[in-house]
Structure 1
């Protein structure tokens, strides 16, 4: 059994991923979602796809429990393509799962039941829960699709899905923390807003152990998350106003990435993070080589 959760390392970390990469908290979330009462985190078997990146899609957290393969994804913005992304990912997972079997034999090869969940906490209004279907993407509508994949999307913003929040303390307190960051960011700099939210939450027992032990990392990640959300919100507003312009999409993306890189380096420097540690974080977040990370850090240091 793997010792650590399979958490995407070549994509940016989020506070949500940091929280639920721990088996204890992940099992708490699973129990809340499924009205189950598993009490041993070691019952979780983590599914890893080492060096398997297909179409640049990787899942946040994937694990086996009770003959179910669960794929959990955190999204800060609405993405209607999650069923297609999960289809690509589950195909690679099942290929790995059945590698010692032959699917050409007369014996039925058993596979775990796939479960797909998206935890959404973007600022665009979304319902408490909704089902995203692969068939919605079909170019031609069909009443009985022969291939279907359904993803449960849950709104985990503060005040939503209260029954689920009552069952999962970690998720509830995460929602409270994010809400405070956003509330304070409306009237002060994001750096000050995050610092204040972290301090208050620790004092009031909201994610206290987690925030205390990983304070610097959480502050840095929270700032990056908020800045990226703001950039994406500006882009969506521009697209809505002017129409989608595919020709400039790549340029916009590159501009955002450059701004994030600079923000990461400057924030790490302000927090007293060493040059070497900053290089390591940039390498981890952007999925780039050691040399590339060093060059970027030197550029903004």
Structure 2
């Protein structure tokens, strides 16, 4: 949402690429109908200077981003070349794609990591014939500070996130978000944006941190289940079985969370089914069954 404003998107692009473009009107946002990739309003896709940039913010680490981006950019390019013939002898020029994830979750992660689609291949190869790289940049405190200095909006966004987290340690989530917004406005942190978009920011922040908290609680609980089973039936076998049970329960609870939070935001069943397909790698039929099973819980 914040970086869907052309000036902010341009500032972030310049910071990442070492450029100094000043005309935000050069940016064209790409919006695909029914593209669940853009379900959260802090993800953007835009075209500038014949480059297509897909930026996503995440508070949970997702190793499947190369696959998700592959699906999205393939659909985007279909729209881009829709008026041209793929059977022509003339080479069709395409915009150069760039994929970046900005991570600010609570898990300890490296400052920078490159994910490759080929890492998911069942049969490893040194020279993959299909490849897509995604750069994950950790924007938590003391991480990628040079980038944040080059893009003040990104720096202020991370300050807002930290304020919410700090507040949430001793107050309700809704109060933590509201007080973080007031604090930031008073201290000239995203002041104009937060003043104009306060209601929407509260809604999105509560959704995001509710999901983050629930996933963390699920992981903690399932780790404990694994430990208890390990104690009862032997360390080596118990640990393996416990991890498998924990992983399965974690996956099922994540599915429940996606359905629950999607309903809260007013998403349709079809949108949630697509989200489950992409985030949990479910087949469409299985995703439909999960939505039917948990819709009224």
- State how many pairs are aligned: 253
Q: 2:71 aligns with which of 88, 93, 97?
A: 88
Distance 1:96 1:261 in 2: 27
Q: 1:183 aligns with which of 166, 179, 191?
A: 166
Q: Does structure 2 retain, via aligned residues, the 8 Å contact 1:58–1:89?
A: no
Q: Does structure 2 retain, via aligned residues, the 8 Å contact 1:128–1:154?
A: yes
Aligned position for 2:56: 73
Q: Does structure 1 retain, via aligned residues, the 8 Å contact 2:114–2:134?
A: yes
Distance 2:255 2:131 in 1: 34
**Where does 1:1-301 land on structure 2 (aligned, <5 Å)?**
18-51=1-34, 53=35, 57-58=37-38, 60-241=43-224, 242=226, 243-245=243-245, 248=249, 251-253=252-254, 255-257=256-258, 260=261, 264=264, 282-283=266-267, 287=271
CA RMSD for the aligned pairs?
Answer: 2.6
The one of the two structures with greater contact order (alpha-carbon pairs below 8 A, sep at least 6) is 1
1:182–1:247: structure 2 CA closer, same or farther, 3 Å change rule? closer
Distance 1:106 1:123 in 2: 51
Q: Which moved more, 1:169-178 or 1:42-51?
A: 42-51
Task: Please list every run of 5 or more consecutive structure 1 residues that lacks an aligned counterpart in the other structure.
Answer: 1-17, 265-280, 289-298
Three-state SS of the structure 1 residue aligned to 2:141 is coil
1:247–1:79: structure 2 CA closer, same or farther, 3 Å change rule? closer
**Higher share of residues assigned helix:** 2
Under a length normalisation based on structure 1, what TM-score does the superposition of the two structures give? 0.76
Shift of 1:284: 8.2
Q: Which moved more, 1:161-170 or 1:235-244?
A: 235-244
Distance 2:73 2:170 in 1: 43
